[in-house]
Amino acid sequence: MTSPTVLLATSNPGKLRDFAGAASRYNVTVANIPHFSSLPPVVEDGATFEANARKKAESYSLAVPGELVVADDSGLEVDALGGAPGVHSARYAADQPHAAEANTDDEANNARVLRELKEIPEPKRTARFVCVLAAARDGKTLATFRGAAEGIILDAPRGRNGFGYDPLFLFPQISKTFAELSAEEKAQYSHRGSAFRAFLEWYKKANW
C-alpha cells in the first residue's frame, strides 16, 4: 500500500528534512509542491507566525487545486531580546529585518544573536523555538497547529546538523543542541516535530 503524501510549501531543505523526520513514524511521505521554485514568492509580512503560515498555505494551495498543502512559519524567540528575532528570524542579520525582502545567511543571523547576548549570563539566555503550521486547500485554511521547544542560547555554536539557529539552541533535557541531532532525533523534541505530529494526527483522523 502506497503511503499518503503531504505537499509542503517550502524551498528550505532543512525544513524538508525536519518534516520528513517527523513523518517517517507515521508512514507518511512529504514532498515539495511540484515546480515550487517557479511559483511567485509570498511576502511574509504578517505580525505573527500564524499569519505568515496561513498566508503561505492559502496562496500556494491555489497552485495545486484540490490538494492539501501545508506551510509553516517558525522562528526563535529570545527572552532577553524581548522575543526577538521572532517572525524576523530568517532575516535577522539585515539592517532592517522587518523590511528585508530576502533571508540573510544563517551564520550572520547567529552572529547577531550572539553579539546581542554577549553580556547576558547563561541563566538569562532562555529562548524557545516556535512553529505554526497551516493546512490549506484551494486557498482556504482548514486548520493550524502550533509547536514550541524551550531551551538556552549558548555562547558558541555546537554541532553540524540542522540549520538556522540550531547550533546555538541547547535543549536541556538531553544536553544537546538541535544541530547535534539527526533529523529523526530532532523531530522527537523540536517545535517543528511537535507541530507536525499534531497536524498528522488531524490528517489521519480527517482521512485525507
**Which has the closest alpha carbon to 133: 189, 202, 181?**
202
Q: Could you give the residue numbers annotated as active site?
A: 73
Burial category of 60 from C-beta neighbours within 10 Å (exposed 0-12, middle 13-18, buried 19 and up)? buried
Query: Which residues, at least 6 apart from 170, have a Cβ–Cβ distance to it below 8 Å?
Result: 151, 152, 153, 154, 158, 176, 177
**Residue 47 CB neighbours (<10 A):** 10
DSSP 162: S
Nearest-CA neighbor of 157 among 129, 183, 175, 177? 177
Range list of H helices, 28-133: 49-61, 106-116
Q: Burial level of 70, CB count in 10 A (0-12/13-18/19+)?
A: buried
